[in-house]
Amino acid sequence: MFKDKLKHLRESAGFTQKELAEKIYVSRSAINKWELGNGIPSDVNLDAICKLFNVSEEWLLDRNDLKIFAKKIEKLLSQKEKDYILEYYSEFNNEECGKWNTSLKAKWYDYKTTEYFEENFNFKESKTICNIGIGPGHWDRYLSYHMNDECKLISIDIDSDITETFRLCLENEENKRNIEIVNSDIFEYIPSHKFDIITMIGSTVKEIGLYKEAFKKAISMLNDNGELFYSSVTKEETIDLLLSAINDTGHVVNNYQRLEKYGKVLILAKIMKE
């Protein structure tokens, strides 16, 4: 098969994966992916390999490779889907959003949120994680790449455009992690299992609009030892408001933090069984 032939040609020529990558102007990870059998080069890269090693495309690709290539063609994104993704990525750097997304304030939010989560939650041992509110999907990507290989992530959002864009982006990025994307109102969602960790961050709860109800729904989806990670950027929010929201649920607020910097507020809290 192609993967075996490529590796044989590379090793016979005395090239490392990095050296071969440099000769045909691709990344080392691309060479590694091809040699693992996880993909086939584009026509341009295939031609470069043939010229470098003086072999024919017919020899390099056998019938099994062509079958794999045919399946890959079937899965290629349509032009409409590609335009959809391009628009999604462009929005983060346009005049309206780019200034904020590249600012120190935004990076501070991201760093402090991630730092708190990693210091207070044993998420790398978790088997099931749920994130309520996908938004741009950055948090879901973080969870997917850093959770353990056996863990499953459920990402929920009520906005069908958000869930479809997130699905297309993950496909385009070749994210192979165990992620299930759910387009649903959180109050109508019935999970097939309870979760070890549930996260609701940023403006999620504020956008849901039903403060107490959102917490009670999330808590109802936790298993006996499950934990809820909550963060907010709402200045008016207080710990008393949060405590009243989880009253009568049998859960308590642990390690509540209210950080203020750059004129911004970031609230972080761990909610767990009493």
Q: Give the domain CATH number at 218.
A: 3.40.50.150
**pLDDT at residue 77, as a whole number:** 64
Per-residue pLDDT tens over the stretch 110-165: 999 999 999 999 998 999 999 999 988 999 999 999 999 999 999 999 888 889 88
Share of the chain above pLDDT 70, in %: 93
**pLDDT at residue 29, as a whole number:** 81
Are 174 and 218 part of one and the same domain? yes
Are 139 and 239 part of one and the same domain? yes
Q: Is the pLDDT of residue 64 over 70?
A: no
Residues 235-245, mean pLDDT to the nearest whole number: 92
Q: Specify if 245 maps to a domain.
A: yes
Q: Specify if 93 maps to a domain.
A: no
**pLDDT at residue 121, as a whole number:** 95
**pLDDT at residue 61, as a whole number:** 80
Per-residue pLDDT tens over the stretch 160-193: 888 988 998 898 888 889 999 999 999 999 999 9
pLDDT, mean over the chain: 88
pTM of the predicted structure, to 2 decimals = 0.70
Is residue 254 within 8 Å of 270, Cβ to Cβ? yes
Q: Specify if 140 maps to a domain.
A: yes
Are 189 and 256 part of one and the same domain? yes
Q: Specify if 248 maps to a domain.
A: yes
Q: Is the pLDDT of residue 221 over 80?
A: yes
Q: How many CB atoms lie within 10 A of CB 254?
A: 12
CB-based contacts of 234, cutoff 8 Å, min separation 6: 203, 206, 265, 267
Per-residue pLDDT tens over the stretch 30-53: 898 888 887 778 778 888 999 999
Are 108 and 204 part of one and the same domain? yes
Residues 49-60, mean pLDDT to the nearest whole number: 90
CB-based contacts of 127, cutoff 8 Å, min separation 6: 150, 151, 152, 196
**pLDDT at residue 75, as a whole number:** 55
Are 140 and 219 part of one and the same domain? yes
Structural domain of 182? 103-273
* CATH number of the domain enclosing 28: 1.10.260.40
Are 114 and 236 part of one and the same domain? yes
pLDDT band at 19 (very low <50, low <70, confident <90, very high): very high
**pLDDT at residue 70, as a whole number:** 56
Q: How far is 222 from 229, CA to CA, in rounded Å?
A: 11
**pLDDT at residue 160, as a whole number:** 87
